[in-house]
Structure 1
Amino acid sequence: MSAIKSLEAVARDRVGKGAARAVRRQGQIPAVVYGAGQPPVSIAIDLIRARTLIYAGGFKTTVFEIAVGGRKLRAIPRDFQLDPVTGVPLHVDFLRVVSGQTVTVAVPVHFINEDEAPGIKQGGGTLNITSHTLELDVAPDRIPEAIEVDLTGRQIGDVIHVSDVKIPAGTYTGEPTDPVANIVPPTVLGAEVEAEEAAIAEAQSAEAAEEKAEAEAAAEEENKGEDEKSED
């Protein structure tokens, strides 16, 4: 299960775009903690700490104990905003968690024992992943770090459904028949790659022909202009 992480924060007494910009100039980012029927709490957290946590992975499946104003709040990230150009965090929304409640989180799927799958090891097949995460309804203190899918014995043509996967904790929010992955023959993805490469080559050829035609037309126009000057 994911360990609870500590996070230092300071309370914000002002909100709005101007206040948010002022917070960011101080090397922090604005955030808010809401939920559990309690008033929202506006906070600011260290930019470097926030960036490290976000890009380390598993941010939205981690419960944080946020120390702010002499008290501690337990919350889980619900959403965050990044600058579309620089990727720098701009804002984080935290959902307050209390005893007895569950939260809905997208838990990453990890595939293990690929070398023990005859369809891949001997048959040369390819693992085609359709779901990189599974959404679970789970108690905050039981959120798994990942869901492992064992590929031992899997053959070409096998389809792995959610019903074939052991969910460590919580309840899957979708249907048991939802596919997680399948093992495809080596020619399937190969044909797709070849078709894509052929399409790219055709587009490049057409573009080159168009550029050549434009250059020839420009040269012809230039020669025509020189001929007219000579006649003058």
Structure 2
Amino acid sequence: MAITHEIKVQRREDEGKGASRRLRRAGTVPAIVYGGELKPVSIQLNHNDVWLASQNDWFYASILDLSLSGDVQKVLLRDMQRHPFKQQILHLDFQRVNENEALRVSVPLHFLNEDKSPAGKAAEVVVTHELNEVEISCLPKDLPEFIEIDLSALEVGTVIHLSDLKLPNGVEIPELKLGKEHDVAVVIAKYGQEEAEEVDAAAVAEVPAAKVTKKEEPKK
């Protein structure tokens, strides 16, 4: 069962760039809710509340309950605009959720017990996380906030692929339906020397071959 989180919002009457700038100066975030059979609605949220929520994985991969004076709509965050250098959220896009339609959402991966694994304890072994999130498909009620990967048994030389992930009931990875070549690596454990050799080999391969010019014979 997916966990939901309630966020209080207010309807936004004024629109346009000027109105959005005034809202931001007043400590609120302009946003829009769209999708489903209802028309798009412009809303505003308290910036501090949104900023705190944005520090959690659930804000990006959970069903959110937007509460407007008691009217609750279930949505997903679909886009967030941030200020290039300030700790400020500029705009949010939320999409309404139909509980009977499957969603495609990217959820974060949580890697557990790496330090307890044989690979994690071995000297000169590098464990790389090739992916930090994965796109899944499921009904809203089955949406997980994240997917855990237990690395306690990770051995040197092991590669964990998408198909190795343990998914909750009702959840699937659409990428795997496209063929074996899409079953990409998620975690790789190997000796650091091997990685250095691969980098060196790649660097050599990128160096263009020197041009060999034929020396002209002196004219007689």
Q: Hey, what's the Cα distance between the residues in 2 that align with 1:193 and 1:69?
A: 57
* Counterpart check, 1:77 vs 2:83: no
5 Å-filtered alignment, 1:107-126, equals 107-122=107-122, 124-126=124-126
Q: Aligned pair in 2 of structure 1 residues 59, 192: CA closer, same or farther (>3 Å)?
A: farther
> Over residues 101-146 of structure 1, what are the superposed CA-to-partner deviations in whole Å (9 max), with x where a residue is unaligned?
2222211112223245323324542211101111111222322122
After TM superposition, list the pairs within 5 Å mapping 1:5-44 onto structure 2.
5-44=5-44
Cα distance in 2, alignment partners of residues 70 and 108 from structure 1: 31
Q: TM-score if structure 1 supplies the norm length?
A: 0.75
Q: Which residue matches 2:162? A: 162
CA distance in 2, matches of 1:86, 1:193: 36
In structure 1, what is the Cα distance between the partners aligned to 2:49 and 2:80?
Answer: 14
SS of the counterpart of 1:19?
helix
SS at match of 2:144: coil
User: Which letter does structure 1 place at the counterpart of 2:29?
Assistant: I
Displacement of 1:52 in angstroms is 0.8
Relative to structure 1, the CA distance from residue 16 to residue 193 in structure 2 (aligned partners, 3 Å threshold; closer, same or farther) is same
Structure 1 counterpart of 2:20, one-letter code: A
TM-superposed CA distance for 1:43, in Å, is 0.4
Report the Cα distance in structure 2 between the residues aligned to 1:192 and 1:178, rounded to whole angstroms: 18
User: Secondary structure, in 3 states, of the residue corresponding to 2:51?
Assistant: helix
Instruction: Say if 2:119 and 2:127, in contact at 8 Å, map to a contact too.
Output: no
1:187-202 map, 5 Å: 187-189=193-195
- Aligned partner of 2:84: which letter? P
Identity of aligned residues (%): 31
Query: How far is the alpha carbon of 1:187 from its aligned partner?
Result: 2.0
1:207-226 residue pairs with structure 2 within 5 A? none
Task: Please name the residue that 2:214 is paired with.
Answer: none
Is contact 1:2–1:61 with CA below 8 Å preserved after alignment?
no
Greater helix share, structure number: 1
For structure 2, the 5+ residue unaligned runs are 177-181, 201-220
Aligned residues: 194
Give the distance between the partners of 1:92 and 1:177, measured in 2 at CA: 33
Relative distance call for 1:179 and 1:24 in structure 2 (3 A) is same
* Counterpart residue number, 1:142: 142
CA distance in 2, matches of 1:26, 1:141: 36
Contact 1:82 1:89 (8 Å CA) reproduced: yes
1:43 alignment partner AA:
I
Q: Match of 1:39, SS? A: coil
* Residue in structure 2 matching 1:184, options 183, 190, 194: 190
Q: CA RMSD in A?
A: 2.3
Structure 2: how far apart are the matches of 1:52 and 1:2?
A: 21
State the secondary structure of the residue aligned to 2:39.
strand
Q: What is residue 67 of structure 1 aligned with on the other side?
A: 67
Q: Distance in 2 between matches of 1:45 and 1:54?
A: 13
- Give the number of the structure whose alpha-carbon radius of gyration is greater: 1
Give distance in 1, aligned partners of 2:55 and 2:198: 32
